[in-house]
Copies of this chain bind each other. A is one copy, B any other.
Amino acid sequence: MQTESPAIEKEFMEYVKKISHYNEAVGLIAWDLRTGAPRKGAAQRSEVLGSLSSEIFAMSTSKDMKNYLTELRQESNWEQLDEVTKKTAEECEKQLKKFENIPPEDYKDYVILTSNAEVAWETAKDTADFDSFKPYLEKIVAYNRKYTEWKGYEGNKYNALLDDYEPGLTVDVIDEVFGKLKEALVPLVKEITNAKDQPETDFLFKPFPAKKQEALSREILENMSYDFEAGRLDTTVHPFAIGLNPGDVRVTTKYDENDFRTAVFGTIHEGGHALYEQNVDKKYTGTPLCTGTSMGIHESQSLFWENFVGRHYAFWERYYDLLKKYAEGQFDNVGLEDFYRGINVAGPSLIRIEADEMTYSLHIIVRYELEKALINEELEVADLPEAWNNKMEELLGVRPEHDGEGVLQDVHWPSGAFGYFPSYALGYVYAAQLKKAMLKDLPDFDNLLKKGDLAPVKDWLTAHVHQFGKSKKPLDILKDATGEEINPDHLIDYLSTKYRQVYGLSL
């Protein structure tokens, strides 16, 4: 007979549920601010976010929380806790460690600051006016520097931030992984750039009405097993997906009427994130475990779908006809082979979110090296635009003409997400490892795509990644799913094989 859970455990889980409710409200407000909230209400809404985030902060670091955690850790209690409660307690301990030394007032001010900074950034970006945004970014960087000290770290200061987004990874490991990527990709990019046999791309840039793109995007999302009864699709400036609870996971996208790729690949990408959040085991609802385990693993899901599915030849064997159905004659004279080469055109460019999969990691490495330097006080915000431009030239061989297409292009710094960027490239590395492992279970992967039968792919990812939510650590997920530690070789192999082929170079 099962002993009844002790009162302390129930109380703790109720307390945790309340925090999850506040987080859900914060998530909805964030979604709303980015999808259509009226401009004039935004400053006041930032204060609402500040109040709610402060409350989350206060609850996560309260005496009550500390008492719960101490009591649960008592041996007589700990042993009889169920798995969900145990993992929840561990996650709360992690949050407590993250927050407990931050002065509450600083934290609240910071939440309001970043909310206002996002609004200021929108204008600064549109007008390429770094100076108007500089005061915000200086305050944000200063806070993050202090934060690393409040939180503590081993080795590099930046490790304190990494731990928030990709626990288990350190500057040492990332420097090695990114070093290998640079070593392989910088010459590959040059080789591709100089290849004689460049793909045709004219046909990509013809008018494709937004309404038609939307219909296509919805059809692909449905094929991916995205559940529209547990989500919705909206437009925004900087697309994202957000899981409020497993029954409400929203995707956003944007439509460029002269380049359908923005919406199609963007939606597949965000759909990959959304599938993760929709398929976390329901038993974690109302706990901090009910979300993706890390930004890197999250990105492995979006990039898996975007690149290993969406940019695969076999995928378009099925979906090219569908695309043609929605397009207005744009591809009538374009064969599948040319289409495939066209959508996989690669080469140096300025904008990360429009970058191809070959150069994408290099865009990330630019940001990683800059933010690592900012946090370690080896670089100041005033010098950032110049440093950005130099780094772009060094890794990608291109230099922005203004900050709107340079240092101001991403929402991450305005929103205070220092330590986030590496996850994109790490996720990509993980995705290549997952693909390798998936092929063992689904050797007919290409054929599934060709048939448009995407459910087995989604089911494999749910079984190996999604279902665990945050109850399993990122590197454990990777290890259990692939049998390996982090290893960039699979990504390098994939990229050099694919792009040598697309560009007609010897393998």
Q: Which residues of A contact B (CB under 8 A)?
A: 17-18, 21-22, 24-25, 28-29, 32, 36-45, 47-48, 50-52, 55, 227-232, 244-250, 285-286
Contacts and interface: CB of A to CB of B under 8 A. Distances in A.
A45 B232 contact: no
A44 B230 contact: no
A24 B40 contact: no
B51 A285 contact: no
Contacts of A227: 40
Contact of A32 (B28, B229, B286): B28
A21 B51 contact: yes
A18 B232 contact: no
A186 to B, nearest CB: 44
A47 B21 contact: yes
A414 B52 CA distance: 28
B32 A48 contact: no
A488 to B, nearest CB: 37
A52 B40 contact: no
B247 A44 contact: yes
A245 B21 contact: no
6 contacts: A25-B25, A28-B32, A38-B247, A41-B230, A41-B246, A42-B248
A245 B39 contact: no
Nearest to A244: B41
Contact of A25 (B52, B229, B249): B52
A59 to B, nearest CB: 11
A42 B247 contact: yes
B228 A38 contact: yes
Contacts of A248: 37-38, 40-42, 44-45
A472 to B, nearest CB: 23
Contacts of A231: 38
A414 to B, nearest CB: 20
How many copies altogether?
A: 2
Nearest to A27: B48
A24 B38 contact: no
Interface of A, secondary structure class, is helix
A36 B36 CA distance: 13
Nearest to A39: B229
Contacts of A22: 51-52
Contacts of A229: 38-40
B41 A245 contact: yes
A18 B51 contact: yes
Contacts of A247: 38-44
A286 B51 CA distance: 12
Given A244-B41, A247-B42, A48 B25 contact: yes
Closest 7 A-B residue pairs measured CB to CB? A41-B248, A40-B247, A41-B247, A21-B51, A40-B230, A44-B245, A21-B48
Nearest to A23: B48
A17 to B, nearest CB: 8
A50 B25 CA distance: 12
A107 to B, nearest CB: 15
Nearest to A40: B247
A241 to B, nearest CB: 13
